[in-house]
């Protein structure tokens, strides 16, 4: 049976890396009934808004989306399209696997997953400026919202993810030594969740600044990290830097009613249309989507094909030290699929 899914090619290099990914999915024999929709600047040009109702309605119907990078228009009161999607569909868990693929780098044994709470924390939008003594923007205030329910579900997701994927340990990352109310609540909730997995999944906790240092000293000590929204945003980009950058960084946004899979990097308008973009992150996001719909064997084949094309066939785009075009890389991965 062909599964329905929403396809948002995206802005900039998005259409190029998405087309390359669809080529590889076809080579795998994975068929989807794609409902192509628009978002970001492309949607503004076509529908006058970065997130049209038709796009939202499509995701509500299919509950599944493969999305290219989107550009939120500057000015005009537009809110981040990605943040809006996460909150609209309550995509509470952002999942970012990081694994060494390219040989020769400083870190050759990185294999970790960061699970980031996706709907609370500093990104709830409670960010204000105040006028004091007649001076505009004299003071600014941002409020972080952490709930026990939100913390519980993302921590439980992290432990269940570890259990399902053969992982051994979950590290709860926090700043409870300073942010005693908000980060303290997250830590306390995570420890309560961990009790249900005692003897199956190990658990420890680390302060976020120490975590950042440890990631660049000995990243192999980490397996699954679960943390709050802002910390996860920062640490996941740091982790991507250990393995060659965002060109190899896929992401999944998981909720109870929908899931959106994406390349983590931006739309890179400076190289759009040149045929040199690295589609690896989008392909690896598609592999996560295959896992999500119960096609784990195909997902593993796709990840293996990307790795084989890069390592054994030495087919690499410019950002990975090679000269392959997007199309050449796609053909190499499709051949190995």
8 A C-beta contact, residue 321 and residue 244: no
Helices (H), 48-181: 53-62, 81-88, 148-164
Active site residues: 123, 175, 209, 233
Residues 264 and 261: their CA atoms lie apart, in Å, by: 9
Query: In terms of Cα–Cα distance, which of 208, 247, 286, 232 is closest to 94?
Result: 232
Q: 280: part of which helix (H) or strand (E)?
A: helix 280-292
Please spell the DSSP secondary structure of 203-260, one letter per residue.
EEEEEHHHHHHHHHH-GGG-SEEEE-HHHHHHHHHHHHHHTT-GGG-EEEEE-SS-EE
Query: In terms of Cα–Cα distance, which of 212, 254, 213 is closest to 236?
Result: 212
The helix/strand/coil state of 33 is strand
Query: In terms of Cα–Cα distance, which of 303, 300, 268 is closest to 283?
Result: 303
10 Å CB burial of residue 112 (0-12, 13-18, 19+) is buried
275: region left, alpha or beta (phi > 0 left; psi from -120 to 50 alpha) = left
8 A C-beta contact, residue 330 and residue 286: no
């Amino acid at each position: 049976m062909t599964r329905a899914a929403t396809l948002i090619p995206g802005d900039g290099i998005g259409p190029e890396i998405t087309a390359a990914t669809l080529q590889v999915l076809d080579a795998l024999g994975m068929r989807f009934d794609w409902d192509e929709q628009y978002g970001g600047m492309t949607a503004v040009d076509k529908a006058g808004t970065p997130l049209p109702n038709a796009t939202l309605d499509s995701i509500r119907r299919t509950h599944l989306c493969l999305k290219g990078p989107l550009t939120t228009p500057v000015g005009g009161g537009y809110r981040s399209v990605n943040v809006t999607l996460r909150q609209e569909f309550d995509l509470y868990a952002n999942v970012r696997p990081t694994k060494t693929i390219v040989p020769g780098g400083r870190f050759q044994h990185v294999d970790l997953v960061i699970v980031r709470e996706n709907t609370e924390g500093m990104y709830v939008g409670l960010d204000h400026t105040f006028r004091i003594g007649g001076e505009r923007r004299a003071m600014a205030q941002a409020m972080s919202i952490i709930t026990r329910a939100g913390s519980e579900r993302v921590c439980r997701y992290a432990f269940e993810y570890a259990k399902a994927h053969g992982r051994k340990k979950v590290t709860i990352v926090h700043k409870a030594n300073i942010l005693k109310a908000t980060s303290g609540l997250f830590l306390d909730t995570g420890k309560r969740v961990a009790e249900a997995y005692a003897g199956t999944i190990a658990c420890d906790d680390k302060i976020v600044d120490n975590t950042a240092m440890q990631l660049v000293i000995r990243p192999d000590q980490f397996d699954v990290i679960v943390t709050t929204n802002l910390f996860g945003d920062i640490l996941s980009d740091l982790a991507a830097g250990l393995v060659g950058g965002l060109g190899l960084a896929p992401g999944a946004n998981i909720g109870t009613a929908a899931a959106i899979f994406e390349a983590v990097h931006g739309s890179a308008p400076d190289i759009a249309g040149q045929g040199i973009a690295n589609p690896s992150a989008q392909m690896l996001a598609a592999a996560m989507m295959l896992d999500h719909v119960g096609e784990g064997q195909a997902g593993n084949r796709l990840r293996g094909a990307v790795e084989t094309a890069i390592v054994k066939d030495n087919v690499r785009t410019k950002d990975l030290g090679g000269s392959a075009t997007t199309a050449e890389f796609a053909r190499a991965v499709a051949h190995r699929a």
